[in-house]
Amino acid sequence: MTTSITTTDLAPRIRRWVSKHPFPSFVLLAYTLSWAYWVPLALRDDTVRAGVGWPSQMPGLLGPAVAAVIVTSLADGRVGLADLWSRITRWRVGWWWLSVLAILLAGAIAIAATDGFGDTADLTLYSGVSAGIGPLATIVFALVVNGFGEEIGWRGFLADRLLHNHSLTVTALIVALVWAPWHTPLFFLMSSFQGFSPGEIVGWTLGITAGSFVLAWLYRGSGASILLVAVWHIAFNFTSATQAGSGVVAAVTSTLVMVTAVVIIVNDRWFGRSGQRAP
């Protein structure tokens, strides 16, 4: 005697499994969605360049956000989606916002101290985005696809749930362990990553780990504002990963993030709180 599983039977099984295992469900789906787009491009030897709209890595950056929405819908239903949306649009700015201004100021000083500002268009020459759409459209597009595409998932879903039961330090480390390897196909796809030496890969990994601490700290301090961390993420990218934000500029902004991360770790160790994600 054989049994068959119909679509009607499968749907509740999937929902139950996702509800019991939201973390692996999210990670698996985020990787699958992003890599399914990036890996074929890499296998074709395509190269993503700054200011060029195709090939582009940008659609793959939406993987974490789409995964967060799907898993939240299956695990928490409409209530969960409403909470996620409220955090996407939430804007609470406190003294921690000065970290954004400090990084932007450091980047501006570094640019002026090296080659000057030159062509201001270089400030918004973004990888995988056509320079032809203009600076303002580039910023908006990067915020929506790169900023929200990543932060709805990494901070809005993963860090948010971890902060309920873990310290900021543990949360940031777990997110970094998931977030950093997710970028792997980009090392074969993006011109800015291709040719990295082993030492540069180590430095990049340390940098993204430091960024995980800063973003988790901002997220918790802002009362769980996905909007704020998405803006910070893009502000950092424009001062460290654009045509103007390279070399000395990238070194200055990245070093500032690493120093900030160390301060956060020390503060969390001495005055740390578990499960303090603000409502």
265 occurs within a structural domain = yes
Rounded to whole angstroms, the Cα distance separating 72 from 105 reads 37
3 occurs within a structural domain = no
Length of the chain: 279
Question: Is the pLDDT confidence value at 120 over 60?
Answer: no
Total domains in the chain come to: 1
Confidence of residue 210 (pLDDT cuts 50, 70, 90): very high
Rounded to the nearest integer, the mean pLDDT of the chain is 85
Rounded to whole angstroms, the Cα distance separating 62 from 149 reads 4
Question: Is the pLDDT confidence value at 239 over 50?
Answer: yes
Question: Within a 10 A sphere around the Cβ of 85, how many other Cβ atoms?
Answer: 14
* Mean pLDDT, residues 96-111: 58
Q: Lowest mean pLDDT of 54-58, 107-111, 250-254, name the range.
A: 107-111
240 occurs within a structural domain = yes
2 occurs within a structural domain = no
Counting Cα atoms < 13 Å in the Cβ hemisphere of 60 gives 24
One-letter amino acid for residue 210 of the chain: A
122 occurs within a structural domain = yes
255 occurs within a structural domain = yes
Please indicate whether residue 257 or residue 31 has the higher confidence score (pLDDT).
31
Q: How many helices (H) and strands (E) does the chain have?
A: 12, 0
Rounded to whole angstroms, the Cα distance separating 229 from 55 reads 27
Please indicate whether residue 195 or residue 45 has the higher confidence score (pLDDT).
45
* Mean pLDDT, residues 48-66: 95
The parent domain of residue 250 ranges over: 8-271
Q: Lowest mean pLDDT of 152-161, 209-218, 247-256, name the range.
A: 247-256
Report residue 240 as tokens.
């460290």
1 occurs within a structural domain = no
pLDDT for residue 236: 84
278 occurs within a structural domain = no
